[in-house]
Structure 1
Amino acid sequence: MFAVLKTGGKQYKVAKDDTFRVEKLAAEAGETIQFNEVMMLGGDTVTVGAPLVEGAAVQAEVLDQIRGPKTISFKKRRRKHSSQRKKGHRQSLTVVRVTDILASGGDKSGVKAAIGAGSVAGVVATAAAAPKKAKAAPKKEEPKAKAEAEAPAGAQPQNLLTEAKGKADDLKKISGVGPKLEGTLNEIGVYHFWQIAEWGPEEIAYMDDRLSFKGRIERDNWIAQAKEFSAAADE
């Protein structure tokens, strides 16, 4: 006789004396637990639940609480300098051995139900037949917190313009600025040398992030060049 049970969001086909690993359960080694979400029973006859087989249960002995193999998660956001994260994870697991498969009477056995550690939607059944708890709604990320996490570093320059004041300066005179980068600067609101000349460290950090290159403004000495060209234009 075999049974198909569900626990920890997964389904397992088991028979008596089978040993298998499941998502961590709230139980100690040596305890006897009972899986009450049985979806199918097989053997001489097959019983399919709708979705569960009423009164069916799988009893098992907890052998050990272990941790699974280490997995590595690495995330790097394109064009977000210094935004990368690497972390390891080992899933907590429970090793159990099937001791009995009940085709009926599981709801009256009185054996402790197998409930996932920290879960509010575990399997429910005992002699007392406690009511099933509702699954907690997932927390939605606050839009404000998300916006702050994705906001560029530094502070936005206060002298950005919606359009040039008169004729726009030829920003390509600055070392490292080509036609494409000049167009990007214009889209952001930078049209004149005097705007760049007024930037401080916070504004430089902001523009570095917006233009997706780290340190180029200071490396190519944009501020000094802009001041020189701006002064020449005023003469």
Structure 2
Amino acid sequence: MYAIVEIAGLQYKVEQDQQLYVNRLKGNEGDSLTFDKVLLTDNGDITVGAPAIENMTVEAKILEHVKGDKVIIFKKKRRKGYQKKNGFRAALTKIEIISIGGNREEKKESKKVAEPKKSASKNDKLTKIEGIGPKVQELLNENNIYTFSDLANSKADDIKAILEPKGGIYAAMDPTTWPEQAQLAADGKFDELNAFQEKLNGGRK
């Protein structure tokens, strides 16, 4: 079963147990959320709201608040001698869909079947590494890099080999300093990490 639901002004196609990033939401990590603007559901029979379906909700849980990948914004006016370069990282919230239409029992059963093989330590948020956003963190997790120690023990060339097949902005990333940053984080040397990151530009020296 899936549903089309409006979250923070945008529409998303969601399914139970799905994790996704949305515009920053109010609340703390672990808080439960209920979204009642469900526009469409499909469990074999499609139901369309007008505009929302009555008595239909989507339950979710906040996993973490993060910043998105850095986007470079460059503005230039021809023959005016004006140009400006800025970096932007969107404020995002990662949520997990608990149930659609209040179906909590299915959630409990599915959890027993699909336990993750490995999970990162609560403090090992790879997005703390300069140059890594939530999408890159997901990509690293898919390749069994979950913790600061995992990343510290990875070679920059191996990380590059993970990023390059994705093309675009991923292929242009330079992970040279990521293992070094991760080692400082793994050792709990966050003051040194912050000082090191002050000298970096998008994760590059």
The TM-score range, normalised by the shorter chain, is: 0.3 to 0.5
